[in-house]
């Protein structure tokens, strides 16, 4: 199994991805009408999100990885482009919905990406982003994925506003697991010096543990329908392009 196949399997089956996807699409259903949306998934990876976005309209994916683009097309997603998010090969005002899920943290010049997204978004169009939260939670996963930074909600909002976007909602998520995440990463920093990096997605837990973790994370979708969470391991933001 190559890297992109392994990542696709993780997106489909890991409790974190499944619960996060449930939260994202619960909020999307509230803010974006299903139907004739023109949609771009930036950093589409193996295309898992594209399949779920298709209920909202016509979806195009873009990824800098040729292997990811090839894999997506092999799954039947035809409208996939290999290109950099810093220079999107799309016309101004092209998409009514743009998703960028855990992508921004990979890019050094994040402002150039946000300005590009603002450029191709239609007036009053919707932009949905997720990013990892808090630099003090930096851990193995950030090193393995070559992240450039983690964000606070205020930092992310300020960058979106500077790109000419209006914040509709911003909230942390995965709040219940923040203390556990912080403790595990601090312990690794103290006693794990010299040990190989290990992705949390490669760790194996008993079925009842993964089921419990997924259920706890998914519960936040109910809360987030009406309220924002003041802390968490990740951030979700819904923004609009000013008319």
Transcribe 173-216 into DSSP letters. Answer: E--TTHHHHHHHHHHHHHH-TTSPP--GGG----HHHHHHHHHH
User: What number is the average pLDDT over the span 15-27?
Assistant: 95
Q: What is the pLDDT of residues 124-172, one digit of tens each?
A: 999 999 999 999 999 999 999 999 999 999 999 999 999 999 999 999 9
Q: What is the pLDDT of residues 76-119, one digit of tens each?
A: 998 999 999 999 999 999 999 999 999 999 999 999 999 999 99
Exposed, middle or buried, 99 (CB in 10 Å: 0-12/13-18/19+)? buried
Q: What is the pLDDT of residues 33-63, one digit of tens each?
A: 887 789 999 999 999 999 999 999 999 999 9
Q: Which residues pair with 167 in a beta bridge?
A: 239
Locate the domains of the chain by residue range: 3-241
Which of 206, 47, 235, 223 is CA-nearest to residue 128?
235
Locate 45 and state its tokens. 């990876």
* Inter-residue long-range contacts of 65-71, CB under 8 Å, 24+ positions, other chains counted: 65/4, 67/2, 67/3, 67/4, 68/4, 68/44, 71/4, 71/5, 71/8, 71/46, 71/47
Residue 224 CA to residue 235 CA, distance in Å, equals: 12
The architecture CATH gives domain 3-241: 3-Layer(aba) Sandwich (3.40)
Is the whole model's pTM more than 0.75, yes or no? Answer: yes
């Amino acid at each position: 199994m190559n890297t992109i196949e392994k990542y696709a399997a993780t997106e489909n089956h890991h409790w974190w991805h499944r619960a996060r996807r449930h939260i994202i699409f619960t909020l999307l259903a509230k803010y974006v009408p299903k139907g004739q949306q023109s949609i771009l998934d930036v950093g589409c990876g193996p295309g898992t999100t594209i399949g779920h976005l298709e209920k909202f309209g016509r979806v195009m994916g873009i990824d800098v990885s040729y292997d990811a683009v090839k894999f997506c097309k092999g799954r039947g997603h035809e409208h996939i482009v290999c290109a950099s998010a810093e220079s999107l090969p799309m016309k101004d005002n092209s998409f009514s919905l743009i998703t960028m899920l855990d992508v921004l943290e990979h890019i050094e010049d994040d402002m150039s990406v946000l300005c590009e997204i603002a450029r191709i978004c239609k007036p009053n169009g919707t932009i949905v982003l997720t990013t990892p939260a808090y630099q003090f939670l930096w851990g193995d996963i950030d090193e393995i994925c070559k992240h450039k930074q983690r964000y606070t909600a205020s930092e992310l909002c300020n960058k979106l506003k500077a790109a000419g976007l209006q914040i509709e909602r911003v909230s942390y998520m995965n709040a219940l697991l923040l203390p556990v995440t912080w403790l595990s990463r601090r312990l690794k920093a103290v006693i794990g010096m010299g040990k190989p990096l290990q992705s949390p997605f490669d760790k194996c837990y008993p079925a009842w543990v993964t089921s419990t973790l997924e259920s706890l994370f998914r519960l936040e979708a109910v809360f987030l329908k009406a309220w924002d969470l003041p802390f968490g391991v990740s951030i979700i933001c819904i923004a609009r392009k000013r008319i």
